[in-house]
């Protein structure tokens, strides 16, 4: 976006999308930021901060040069594009569509092909980093697809993130994001089992956290989620249902390649069990609750 006067759009104002759209708005780099959310009422806060609102994805895309999306899952990403008054109804020659949702390669490819067939340009740009990095503009952005559009998005990516990577043709970023989140889900599953075993065997969980934090396994995720697990309070930063979706999609990728993934498969079972306990909308640290079942 060498031209600072571009109009940009944003579809999906959930935990991540609202923070990302706000950073685009606050940057002052764009002529306008137009937002849409399936539950339209959620647009009001950003509108009160200066965003425009449109009633359909098509209306956003038709009024913007580049539209970003941050939607729940493959069904949501596909609905926003192929549904009534979806993105495809607003796309025309040269317009950019950047889907930053975590989805599988098939979903991303289907969207990319439809957008380009309509004359538009497509980049997939899933991110790593949770609610706080989204608020702080410190996400890690994995990009793939149209290289020219990716370059044009650099100012926006710098507002939303701390680093972006161009990984190749459409599908590469979707795969990378699933690999990253497969590792994250497996780590969280193992961590929660450790916390559970520590407590059951008469050890202090605080001591375990400190010991882990001083050694080679020290990491921000354990440090951040440890206290939440100890208090068994899980306000959602990364909803558990999305982590389980990512494990499911990563396992499907492994299946398609005959890549054995026994650790991730076991972690997925823990997340499924936590979801069955009604923890899907809690933070993904609530997978700890699955370790508490008799």
Among 7, 32, 63, 128, which residue sits at the site for ligand LL5AMS7Z (rule: CB under 6 A)?
128
Establish whether 110 is a catalytic residue: no
Q: Binding segment for ligand LL5AMS7Z among 65-73, 127-135, 142-150, 202-210 (CB under 6 A)?
A: 127-135
**Residue 35: φ, ψ to 5°:** -115, 155
**Residue 182: φ, ψ to 5°:** -65, -40
- Least separation, in Å, of the C-beta of 6 and ligand LL5AMS7Z? 27
Q: Which is nearer to ligand LL5AMS7Z, 59 or 139 (CB)?
A: 139
Q: Which is nearer to ligand NDP, 6 or 81 (CB)?
A: 81
Instruction: Identify the CA nearest to 124 among candidates 162, 92, 81, 89.
Output: 81
Binding site partner of 101, from ligand LL5AMS7Z, ligand NDP, none, Cβ cut-off 5-8 A by kind: ligand NDP
Other beta carbons within 10 Å of 249: 24
Binding site partner of 38, from ligand LL5AMS7Z, ligand NDP, none, Cβ cut-off 5-8 A by kind: ligand NDP
Cα gap 195→228, rounded to integer Å = 12
Q: Which is nearer to ligand NDP, 38 or 147 (CB)?
A: 38
Specify the pairing of strand 139-145 against strand 121-124: antiparallel
Binding site partner of 239, from ligand LL5AMS7Z, ligand NDP, none, Cβ cut-off 5-8 A by kind: ligand NDP
Q: Which two tokens stand for residue 258?
A: 């005959």
CA atoms within 13 A on the CB side of 160: 30
Cα gap 105→182, rounded to integer Å = 15
Separation of first and last alpha carbons in the chain: 55
Among 130, 164, 170, 186, which residue sits at the site for ligand LL5AMS7Z (rule: CB under 6 A)?
130
Given the rule CB under 6 A, which residues bind ligand NDP? 12-17, 37-39, 42, 70-73, 75-76, 79-80, 101-102, 127, 130-131, 237-239, 242
- Strand, helix or coil at 139? strand
Cα gap 220→165, rounded to integer Å = 22
- Least separation, in Å, of the C-beta of 17 and ligand LL5AMS7Z? 13
Which candidate in 110, 177, 225, 241 is catalytic? 177
Q: 271: Cβ–Cβ under 8 A, 6 or more apart, which residues?
A: 185, 189, 240, 243, 244, 247, 284, 287, 290
Among 36, 97, 238, 288, which residue sits at the site for ligand LL5AMS7Z (rule: CB under 6 A)?
238
Residues annotated as part of the active site: 177
The residues binding ligand LL5AMS7Z (CB under 6 A) are: 102, 128-130, 181, 238
């Amino acid at each position: 976006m060498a031209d600072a006067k571009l109009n940009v759009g944003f579809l999906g104002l959930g935990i991540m999308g609202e923070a990302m759209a706000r950073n685009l708005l606050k940057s002052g780099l764009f002529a306008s930021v137009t937002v849409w959310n399936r539950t339209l009422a959620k647009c009001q806060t950003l509108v009160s901060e200066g965003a425009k609102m449109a009633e359909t994805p098509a209306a956003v895309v038709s009024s913007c040069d580049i539209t970003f999306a941050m939607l729940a899952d493959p069904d949501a990403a596909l609905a926003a594009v192929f549904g009534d008054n979806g993105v495809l109804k607003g796309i025309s020659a040269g317009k950019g569509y950047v889907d930053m949702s975590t989805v599988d390669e098939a979903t991303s490819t289907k969207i990319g092909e439809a957008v380009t067939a309509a004359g538009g340009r497509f980049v997939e740009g899933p991110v790593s980093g949770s609610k706080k990095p989204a608020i702080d503009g410190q996400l890690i952005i994995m990009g793939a697809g149209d290289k020219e559009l990716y370059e044009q998005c650099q100012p926006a990516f710098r507002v939303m993130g701390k680093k972006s990577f161009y990984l190749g043709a459409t599908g590469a970023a979707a795969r990378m994001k699933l690999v990253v989140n497969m590792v994250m889900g497996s780590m969280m599953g193992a961590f929660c089992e450790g916390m559970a075993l520590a407590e059951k065997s008469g050890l202090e969980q605080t001591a375990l956290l400190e010991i882990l934090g001083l050694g080679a396994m020290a990491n921000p995720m354990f440090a951040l989620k440890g206290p939440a697990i100890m208090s068994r309070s899980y306000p959602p930063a990364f909803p558990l249902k999305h982590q389980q979706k990512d494990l499911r999609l990563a396992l499907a990728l492994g299946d398609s390649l005959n890549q054995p993934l026994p650790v991730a498969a076991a972690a997925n079972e823990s997340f499924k069990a936590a979801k069955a306990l009604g923890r899907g909308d809690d933070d993904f640290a609530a997978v700890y609750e699955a370790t508490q079942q008799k």
